[in-house]
Amino acid sequence: MTGNRRAALTAIVSNREIVPGTFLMAFEEPRLAAEVRPGQFLMLSIPAAHDPLLPRPFAVFNREGPRVEILYRRVGKGTGRLAGLKRGDSLRALGPLGNGFPLPAPSVASLVLAGGVGIASVHLLLLHLLKHQSVPTTLLYGARSHQEIIPLESLEAQGLRIHIATEDGLRGVKGTVAALLSTTPALWEDGAAASTEAFVCGPMAMLRAVVARLNRPGIRTHVSLESRMACGYGVCQGCAMPFKDKENPERVRYRKVCTDGPVFTADEIPWGKTEAS
């Protein structure tokens, strides 16, 4: 396989604001669509533009045949430029990158927790679980406001149990995903087998709160982390974050979020010491 991979040069098929501030972009790239596993990501850039200079990391939200879909929130310069792209505009996509989520055995109960646009990183996982698990899968999904909640009817139709929390309280429970988790523990325990795999993606504060609450016997928690990235494929060392050193759990060791992650088990992360990203 030496030397024959390339960053794909592709063209936007569609790009629209599906809820205020959040966009769904699609392009066709059969290889990426075929290869990508849940939790992996792409580095996206605009070929001719030098501002921003660096590509930006995005999870693959969905795939359908040759089509790849990205769900992203407009937060700064790079996502602002993406939001301005129109059908036919060209895009460079490198990937799929990262380790992705470890996929549980079909009989294992799965609990997925997403905060905000973190839903993008777990969406392919949800599709996988709905297709392969013999036990029900639950999604706890929180957002700042009810307007930010991405419609997930088709997942619900496939049997996903969705519980929503919004900070404005106008949809689902008022509060955060973490609150949802602790105030209604029965939510996810009822269907849970002896062991549960939890998958979490969202802002650092949410991760911290959720992981603390999931820290109990029988639950293994996988967290998809974010970090500022320059390359996304392991060469710049820019994305390093501190993790527990296996040999000496009191010390930290820098590991790369892009190639060692972005998915880590919660117990690898020194929660007290981790930088808010």
Partner 1 sequence: MTKIDMSVPLAGLSLKTPVMTASGTCGYGLDLLPYLDLSRLGALVVKGISVEPRQGNPPPRIMETCGGMLNAIGLENIGMEAFVAEVLPRLREHRTVLLVNILGESEEDYARLVDRLSEQEGIDGFEVNVSCPNVRRGGIAFGSDPATLEHLVAFLRPRTEKPLIIKLSPNVTDIVDMAGRAEAGGADGLTLINTIRGMSVDVESRRPHLATVVGGLSGPAIKPIALRMVWEAAARVQIPIIGVGGILSGEDAVEFLLAGASAVQIGTAHFRNPAACIEVMAGIEGYLARHGIQAVRELIGAIRVDPSREA
- Give residues in contact with ligand FES (CB under 6 A): 229-232, 234-239, 256, 258
CB of 55 to ligand FES, least distance (A): 10
Omega into 249 within 30° of 0, i.e. cis? Answer: no
Tally: H helices and E strands in the chain: 7, 16
Q: How far is CA 147 from the centre of its chain?
A: 20
Q: Which amino acid is at 242?
A: P
* Residue 264, strand partner residues: 223
Tell me which of 11, 18, 34, 49 binds a second copy, using CB under 8 A. Answer: 49
CB of 259 to partner 1, least distance (A): 7
Span of 47-55, 153-161, 196-204, 228-236 interacting with a second copy by CB under 8 A = 47-55
Alpha-carbon span 272 to 249, nearest angstrom: 13
Q: Are 74 and 80 in contact (CB under 8 A)?
A: yes
Does 47 interact with a second copy (rule: CB under 8 A)? no
Q: Are 139 and 126 in contact (CB under 8 A)?
A: yes
**Chosen from a second copy, ligand FAD, partner 1, none, partner binding at 79 (C-beta under 5 to 8 Å by type):** ligand FAD
Chain positions 140 to 159 lying near a second copy, rule: CB under 8 A, are: none
Site string for ligand FAD, 104-143 (x = CB under 6 A): -------------x--xx----------------------
Task: Closer to a second copy by CB, 48 or 186: give it.
Answer: 48
Tell me which of 48, 157, 186, 194 binds a second copy, using CB under 8 A. Answer: 48
Q: Are 274 and 205 in contact (CB under 8 A)?
A: no
Tell me which of 8, 33, 57, 223 binds ligand FAD, using CB under 6 A. Answer: 57
Q: Which long-range contacts (CB under 8 A, 24 or more apart) does 155-162 make?
A: 155/126, 155/127, 155/130, 158/130, 158/131, 159/130, 160/126, 160/130, 161/136, 161/137, 161/191, 162/138
Q: How far is CA 80 from the centre of its chain?
A: 20
Does 170 interact with a second copy (rule: CB under 8 A)? no
Task: Closer to ligand FES by CB, 90 or 254: give it.
Answer: 254
Does 86 interact with a second copy (rule: CB under 8 A)? yes
Task: Closer to partner 1 by CB, 5 or 16: give it.
Answer: 5
Alpha-carbon span 64 to 62, nearest angstrom: 7
Site residues for ligand FAD per CB under 6 A: 41, 52, 56-59, 71-73, 75-80, 117, 120-121, 226-229, 262, 277
Site residues for a second copy per CB under 8 A: 48-51, 80, 86
